[in-house]
Amino acid sequence: MNGALLGKTVIVTGASSGIGKETARELAKAGARVTLICRPGPKAEAALEELARDVGGENVELLGADLSQMESIRSCAAQFKKTHDRLDVLVNNAGVYLSERQVTPEGLEKTFATNHVAYFLLTNLLLDLLKSSAASRVVCVASEAERWGKIDFDDLQCEKRYGGMKAYAQSKLANIMFTYELARRLTGTGVTANCLHPGVVRTGWGTTSNLLFRIGIALYRPFMISPRQGAKTSIYLASSPDVETVTGKYFFKSRQIHSIPSSYDAETARKLWEVSEHITGNS
């Protein structure tokens, strides 16, 4: 893959660790200029330093943003557009699992805000660059947790009943339905949109959750794959010529698979899009 992305501009969100960092590393090795969008702090700075040593400082840069907050996302997108005139690949990767309900300063449930609203808002804010850079790609990291998800328009923010897996599964199903709807809306633009399940990966996911959940993760950890293995499908969708014109699909182990039947409900996807526009004020 060396040189396959030479001259391309790429964004990877949540790239300070895990799948995101490995995705950024491999895409930069392939010649891309990669912007890491991460929460500001020592972890993000350490990731930038590590990747710069590995792939060359000219190939990676850091933009700080709290992806649970819309104001921060808008500021980050504006900053990127000031310094870049193209965007070839956007990898929406950042995500959280929270065992206890938390609310952002903007009043959104934090899992929904980080895992869905951030994908929706950042992508839409950068769509003009993606379109002008076509053929270009949007890659959304989802999860097989979509199997247990339901888009509950009566309780999107989990105010009536909160469960960590309930909120997470809903957000991951939302990732898939957003991707399918985005692909429909981008027909004829030269911009593709695909999503993926990375596998069950050894990352920091869930390590800030309650004790019982952390114990479960620890017991299952020996059976998990490495972040490098987990990043393979993201890298494939971001760079392979095999999927240059493929859009609106769901992948696992770099192969197309089917998501749950409800994920293909175009009317629900359209409504989720409209609700997301209302939440973000981006229409």
* Residues with a known catalytic role: 168
CB 32 within 8 A of CB 5: yes
Tell me the C-alpha distance between 277 and 181, whole Å.
13
Rg (CA), the chain: 17
Contacts of 27 (CB under 8 A, 6+ apart): 5, 10, 12, 34, 89, 91, 235, 238, 239
Residue 53 tokens read as 């040593």
Residue 28 tokens read as 């930069």
Tell me the C-alpha distance between 124 and 120, whole Å.
6
Q: DSSP string of 177-196? A: HHHHHHHHHTTTTTEEEEEE
Taking Cα atoms as reference points, which of 104, 179, 89, 103 lies closest to residue 141? 179
